[in-house]
Amino acid sequence: MNKKKDVNFLVCGAVIAALYAALTYAASAVNLAYGAVQFRFSEALTVLAAYTPAAIPGLTIGCILANLGSPYGIADIICGSAATLLAAVFTYLTRNVRVKGLPLLAPVFSVVFNAVTVGAEITVFLPEGFTFKGFLIQAAFVGLGELVVCYAAGMPLCAAINKTGLRKYLK
């Protein structure tokens, strides 16, 4: 890579990380960022991995920073951020699967990885401890929140990126 591309990658990743963390803290202010029912506005940004590899470290670092405020502590910092990293990598790998220019698979990975990982994490902290039934319930709640945010906000974000020509800046 040349220096201009290196700087672009670094700046793009840093902006994504900052936006992710800030949007998560905004969701936290209205009790929507942590817990079984999550509507992290920041999760809409996960679709950016379909546009730039800089989103992979950006989303991961943003999630680490955001999870510093999690009531689940180090477990959420590690597990939640790992789920985000895996989702970003798989989103990037499937970036060329598009329907009418939109990466419709992009949100699927965030939904699945977060439902399983964060659902399991929350279940461990339940008063009765980890049970399969508890896990299914928690995973369903987390997955539903992810599904709503990632598709309701993520797909319009993709459409806006395509329509405005921002895509050329996200390489």
Residue 1 has pLDDT above 70, yes or no: no
Q: Alpha-carbon distance 45 to 40, whole Å?
A: 10
Q: Residues with Cβ < 8 Å from 99, sequence gap 6 or more? A: none
User: What does the DSSP 8-state code read for residue 33?
Assistant: S
Closest by CA position to 71, among listed 110, 116, 112, 33: 33
Closest by CA position to 62, among listed 130, 51, 50, 49: 49
Whole-model pTM: value is 0.93
Q: Which residue has the higher pLDDT, 1 or 122?
A: 122
Q: Alpha-carbon distance 171 to 167, whole Å?
A: 7
User: What does the DSSP 8-state code read for residue 37?
Assistant: S
Q: pLDDT, tens digit, for every residue of 78-120?
A: 999 999 999 999 999 999 999 998 999 999 999 999 999 999 9
Closest by CA position to 67, among listed 89, 35, 30: 35
Q: pLDDT, tens digit, for every residue of 53-84?
A: 999 999 999 999 999 999 999 999 999 999 99
For a pLDDT cut of 70, what percent of the chain falls above it? 99
Within a 13 Å sphere around the CA of 107, how many CA atoms are in the beta-carbon half? 22
Q: Alpha-carbon distance 76 to 70, whole Å?
A: 7
Residue 45 has pLDDT above 80, yes or no: yes
Angle at 117 between CA 103 and CA 158, to 5 degrees: 15
pLDDT of amino acid 2: 84
